[in-house]
Each structure stands twice: as C-alpha cells, then as structure tokens.
A and B are shown apart, each in its own frame.
Chain A
Amino acid sequence: MIKRLSVSLLLASAVLYQPSQFVYAEEKKETLEATEVYDLRYGETLFNFFQQKYFSAITNLMVAEVRSPIKVQGEDPNLLLGGLYLAYGMHNDASNLFQGLLSSDTLPASHDRAWYYIAKLRYLKGYTPQAEIALTKIKDTLPEEREAERLHLLANVYMKQKNYPKAIEVLKNFSGSSEWEAYAQFNLGVALVKAGQLEEGTELLNEVGDLNPFSISHELNALRDKANLALGFAYMRNNRAADATSHFQRIRLTGPLSNKALLGLGWAYTNQEQYTEALTPWLELQNRKALDTTVQESLIAVPFTIEKLGKPRLAMQHYQTAIGAYAEEINKLEDVMLAVQRGELIEAMRPANIDDETSLPLGSFGLPKSVTAPYLNQMMATNTFQEAYKNYQSLLHLKHVLEHWQTQLPSYELMLSERRKAYFTRLPEVASDERLQSITRIQKQRDEYAADLKRIKKDNDVFGLVTEDEDDLLLVLTNVKKKIDKLSPTQDLSEELEKYNFLKGILAFQLESEFIPRLWAANNNLKELDRALKKTRKAKRSLVKAANNAPKFFEGYDKKITWSKQRIRNLIARLDSAISKQERYIQKLAQAGLIKRRQQLENYHVRARFGIARLYDSLILEKDKKVQQEGAEQGEENAQ
C-alpha cells in the first residue's frame, strides 16, 4: 500500500497565480495528512505533478484512461485531471470537465470540489456573481483547509461586489487557519480603506500589522509588512502623517517593501515639517539600488527637503546630482528599449534546457548585457507578464515535444518496415514447414489406427495389441509349428509339439490377461494424438489468421504514423504562428512598461531642472535684492 499525501490543497494552490500565495501553499504542503492510494499510474501522475510537470502528468492520466481507467482511487482522478488542466492554463477544458463532473453520478465530495474549482475559475475570469453562486452550492464535505480557502474566496467575491457587510460577516465566521484569516483580514481591510471606510479598514489592518514578527512565519511577516504599508499610505491620504509614521517604522528594513516604507516615512516626516528626520530614511534609500523607483523619487525628494531646511545651495547640488542620475537612467532605458526591439529580451527568455518541462521561474533567464535587468524586473513581477512568460515557455516546450516525435517517427517506420520484411520472409518458410504439411497424412493414419482399434475391440483380438517382442515371438512360434508339421510324418515330434503348445498357451494367456489394460492405453494414446492434432491445427489456423491480418496490422500502424506526421506538421505551423504572436505580445508589454518608466524618469528630470531654475531665480532675486539693498544703503551713506 502506498502512503500518499492528499492532493486536494496542492491542486488548489497550483491554480493561484500570485507568487506570495504559492509560497504559502508550498509551505503548507509538508503538513498535509497522508492518504492511501492504490494505483501505480495515479502515483506516477503525482510524481510529475509534484515536480510541476503538468504536461507529463496530464499525459499519464490520458494514457491510463485509454489502457485501463483508474478506478480504485479514493479521490476521483477526474478532479486531479481538472486541477492539472487549471495548473497548465487550460481553463476552458478544466471548466468543461468540472461541469461534466457536476452532471455525472459522482460522490457529494467530488461535487463540492468541482463547485469549488468552478467558483475559482469564474472568479479568475471576473464572473463574480457566478462565482458566488458556485461557492454557495458547496455543502460540508470540504476538508478544513479547503473550507478556509472557500471562505476566503467568498469574502473576496463580496469585496469585489463592494458588499462589505457580507464580507465582514464571512470573516467573523472564519474558523480556518490563522494564515487564511490574516489574508482575509488584510484583503477586507484594504477594501474598506479603498471604499473610504478608514476606521473599519484600519482596525482590521491593525490586527495584521500588530502580529508579533518573531512568532509568525515568513509569509505572515510579509503580510504584516504589507498591512503596515497599506496603513501608512491610508493615513497619509487622510492627512494623518503622525499615525502613518509609526506604521512605516514597523516594516522590516530588509524586506521587499522596505524601500517603499523608507520613502513613505520620509514623506510622513515632511508632512509634519520634520525635515531633518525626513532626510534619514531618504539618504538611506539612496544607498540602495539606483534603478528602483523609490530610490529615484528620493533623489528629488532630498533636495526639496534640504531647501525646506533653508540651504538652497546644498539643495542645488543635490538637484544637479539628481539631474545627472536621471539623464543617465534615461539613456540606459533607451538602450534597453532598443535591445527589446532587437529581440534580445525574447532571446534571453528562451530556456537553455528546453528538455525540462518544469516551468522555469521568472528571472531565471539571464538578460543580455545590453538589457539592464532591474528595469524589467519590476514589470516581470506583474501577473500579466508572468502569465505571458508562462505561456511562452509552454509553447516552446510543446514545440520541443512535437520535434521530438518528428525525429522518432522515422525510426518507428523503419522498425515497422523491418518487421514487415522479416514477417513476409519468414511466413513462406513457416507455411512450408513439413510438420504443418503433414497434418493431413497424420490425420489419415490416425483414422486407420482408430478403425483398427475398433475392430480389435469388437473381435476381442488379443493378438492385435502385441508388442514388437511378442510379435517376434509369435513369428518364431509360427516357424516352429511349420517345421514340426513338415517333419512330423517322418519323425516323432510329439514332445516338441507339446512344448510348442505350452509356449503358445503361455503367450496367449499373457496377451489375454493384458488385453484390457493395453486396449485402455491404446485408446488413451489415440486421445493424446487427437489433442496434439487439435493443437497443431489451432497453431496452423493462428498462422493463417496472422498471415491474413498482417497486412492490415502493418497498414494500421502505417496509417497512424502518416496521420501523426500530418498532425505534427500542422501543429508546428500553428505553434510557430502562436509563438510569434506571443513574442510580439511580450515585447509590447515590455515596451509599454519601459515607456511608462521613461515618462516617470522624464517627469522627475523636468522637476529637478525646474527645482534648479527656481532656486537660481530665487538666488538671483536674493542677490539682486541684496545688491539693491546694498545700493540703497550705499546711497544712504553717500547722502549722509
């Protein structure tokens, strides 16, 4: 019996796109309960699924369906297949399969799971009311973890519909794991803040933001940071900079949100006119990677604050630095855009080892030297780009699969051709085998023996079943009798005659007494001969049948191979077209992201120049004022 982990949650997690969620699900996997599974092919499917080899896993199930469907498995293999379709981005097929499960005679648990997947699909496609209907169809068979996910999804559905009271109600009844609850609280808190219900929203976010960072998982720590950042932003928008400050300060300095927190903290201090304090986080930010948008914003924020501190000349120096940095970045960005246009990004996105069907993580490909990675990294972190990248990788992998078959098929053709040749060469040899030809003769002999045996039995002919030795003995006795008869008229051979009669009597007695066993043995031998003849005839019939069917057999495979070749050619042509389209789409996405980035940099650049111009103006004005003042003072002195 194979101990195996339940795949329910894993399938659910596989369809989720956000990396943070996926990490969460990955962490949870290890603690899942073990279940027993009874089919090696199911296990083989799981082996591929656990390695994220969805294409192979789906093929395993499809082949099993043709050979001998998996029936002894506790969880419906169709649910696994549907989940695999989802994970492989085949939403339409997944939807059809789950709908099929609902209309079929499946167990209530399978029904509930099918409804769950359908809800998730509808939610992902944006059909929120339909997702709600699907979620409410689910009864009480979901495992605890899945039920927590269901409630989480339901709360999100209500939030999308802006039905916050309902979302809060779901959240209040939440009895799932603390992780899911924290996620639900966070989502709802953000939704309420967005809806303008600041107090209610911040209350929920505070619960997440107040979690003890030393006693929670890495994932929850990331969520805690997010909650604090959201709170900080929310307070800033509502002109409560002092409240915002404490939340920005709670965010970890080494986490992925630290740059945003430092930037936010600086603005929170600025809003409170604490300019010196504002400089601390912003100057810290400038020690970080220059390409980050937050770092770039800090470049212009620092001189603005210094100016506020009444140090215009120092502010001007910082503006100059910022202008230089922006100009440099804009130039780099231009290079990146050109590189993207030249197709270097696409080139770099092609996996080195296409043989490995596992979807490579984004960012695993090495960007060419001409492309400055950080500009693209931000854009690559978006769902749209990730989906496009995943699809692109899948298309390349599919083409690799087809090309593999394309190279294999000629060898199968050769194999078939050799088999055909060998078959048709050997067939006449086998057909002319003497043993097969002699069947009729043997049958005739058999019939003669059978008739003889019948006569022996009927006539009780004991001499009919003599052995060779006995036959020799009989011949000797016959010759002896002939000699006695010949010599009797001239000699007294009564003693010899008596001896002859005695010996013949003994032989007759022996034959008489062994007649029945011999007759039984002879009949048995005849039956054995019949069986052997039957077997030989069967073999001959089988040979004849095989000979007749062979052309059809070979023709069947020939047709399959020819048809497959056509399908492969057709599919490769369509794949090439789809790959080109996908490449154009990725380039377009990249260009759109880069243009947005350039606009932002140009905006900063203009503002920095404006800052300098303004400072120049004010310094000149000040100077003029001073000159005028000095002139006036000089005039006064002269007048005196």
Chain B
Amino acid sequence: MSKLAPTLFSPFLLMLTLFIMQPAWAAEGDTPEPAGDQGTVTTLDTQIQDLKKEILDLNRDLFLLEEDLLFPANTQFTVFVSMDVGITFDLDSVQLRLNNNVVGNHLYTERELKALKRGGVHRFYTGNLTSGEHELVAFFVGKGPKDRDYKRATTVKVTKGTEPQFVELKISDKESKHQPEFKVKVWEAE
C-alpha cells in the first residue's frame, strides 16, 4: 500500500470506531454535545420536565372544571366503545343515536383500531341526560366475515338516575357462528 493509503483510510477507520460503539439499543450517546453545552442541555431538559408536570397538573384541573360545568354528575352520560379481538369484524365507523337524535359519529383511523384491538377503550360520547328512560341506538359499520359490507344496529333502553352513567358498546367475536357480536353493558357508577 502506498504512503497515501493510511491517510485515505482514516475516515473509514473513524467510521469503523463509531460504528462498533453503537450496538443495538444499548448504544451510548452517539453525537457529542457541542463543547461546554452538556450542563445547559441538562438544565433545559429539567426545565422541560418541570413544565410538563405543571401543565399536566393544570390540564387535569381544567379538565375537571370543564366536566363539572358542562356535564354535572347528576346528568352525566358517557358512552364507550371497546373491541374484543375483532377477527370477524373490521370496524369502520360508529353512529350513536339517543332518543332518535344523532349525537355522535366517529370514523376510526388505523391507529385507533389497533389501540381498540389491543384492549383500549374509546370514550365515544359524553353528554347530559335527564332522569328517566331513554333509548340508545348504536350503528356499527365495517367489513364482516368474507370481507362483506356489514352494518348492524344495537338498541338498548337505559334508565338514567341521578348518578353519572357509563355505557359500554362492545364488539366481540362470536366464535361458534363466526359472526361479530355487539353487546351493550351499563356500568354502575362507583
């Protein structure tokens, strides 16, 4: 190799060293901070963490205030949507009618559907309802078995008392019939 070779080879060697310093996720800091900035960066990071905490606290307080003002406990009525596995039904959207009035429509994104399938529960609707009996109808639209368009409605009569009421609309797989099943569960307020 000529005398030039080692000089030429140096960036390659540098890259080599950098590379083997980065094994998978346990890699150490890969880009050195600009000299003398480490302390500033740490302070800034702490400041950001403090801000996050304070804003989360404030957000909680305002969330509670909003709920108290807009949905007082004695009239509060909330509907959730959940999904159990979801093999026989690919959900597209849900429409909710309360006493024959449309109160909510939601078109689910891929990300939301994944979250539902993993066990997440979507707060679909929060509103106010007077004491007494009410009719709730939920329309589920999507693809059913054999990729066919599927639209199904579920009706339930709910009796609203003076406590907050929570209703869960649950999509589950009826394994025996290879059909989706739409259940409604009224949760007792604690």
Residues of A at under 8 Å CB distance from B? 2-5, 16-18, 20-21, 29, 34, 37, 40, 43-44, 46-51, 55, 58-59, 62-63, 66-68, 88-93, 152-153, 156, 159, 183, 186-187, 190-191, 193-194, 223, 226, 229-230, 233-234, 236-237, 260, 263-264, 267, 270-271, 273, 293, 297, 300-301, 304, 308, 358, 379, 382-385, 391, 394-395, 398, 401-402, 405, 408, 412, 415-416, 557, 560-561, 564, 567-568, 571, 574-575, 578, 581-582, 585, 588-589, 592-593, 600, 603-604, 607, 611, 614
Beta-carbon nearest neighbor of A582 in chain B:
B44
Contact, CB under 8 Å: B33 / A384: yes
| B187 in contact with A90 (CB, 8 Å) | no
B20 contact from A62, A156, A223, A233, Cβ within 8 A:
A233
Q: Which residues of B contact A190 (CB under 8 A)?
A: 20, 23
Option from A233, A273, A394, A588 in Cβ contact (under 8 Å) with B37: A588
The complex places the Cα of A488 from the Cα of B152 at a distance, in Å, of 93
Q: How many residues of B contact A (CB 8 A)?
A: 72
Contacts between the two chains (Cβ within 8 Å), count: 227
Beta-carbon nearest neighbor of A41 in chain B: B121
**What string of 1s and 0s marks CB contacts (under 8 Å) between B49-62 and chain A?**
10111111111111
A273 to B115, CA, bound (A): 57
Contacts of A43 in B (CB 8 A): 80, 82, 119-121
| A47 in contact with B122 (CB, 8 Å) | yes
Could you tell me the distance between the alpha carbons of A233 and B120 in the complex, rounded to whole angstroms?
46
A-B residue pairs, 3 tightest by C-beta: A4-B119, A43-B121, A47-B120
Chain B residues in the interface with A (C-beta under 8 A): 1-2, 4-5, 7-9, 11-13, 15-16, 19-21, 23-27, 29-31, 33-34, 37, 40-41, 44-49, 51-66, 68-69, 80, 82, 84-85, 111-112, 114-116, 118-123, 166, 168, 170, 187, 190
Q: Contact check: which of A20, A34, A234 meets B24 at CB < 8 Å? A: A20
**B115, A51: Cβ atoms under 8 Å?**
yes
Among the listed A300, A394, A561, which residue makes an inter-chain contact with B52, where contact means beta carbons less than 8 Å apart? A394
A578 touching B55, Cβ below 8 Å: no
- Give the residue of B7, B23, B49, B62 whose beta carbon is less than 8 angstroms from that of A93: B49
Q: How far is the CA of A55 from the CA of B149 in the complex (A)?
A: 36
B48 touches A557 (CB 8 A): no
Query: Which residues of chain A come closer than 8 Å to B119, judged between CB atoms?
Result: 2-5, 34, 37, 43, 46, 50
> Are B49's CB and A578's CB within 8 A?
no
- The interface residues of chain B lying within 8 Å CB-to-CB of A90 are 49, 52-53
Task: Kindly list chain A residues whose C-beta atoms are within 8 Å of the C-beta of B53.
Answer: 90, 93
A271 to B122 Cα, complex, angstroms: 62
Q: Is the CB of B80 within 8 A of A40?
A: yes
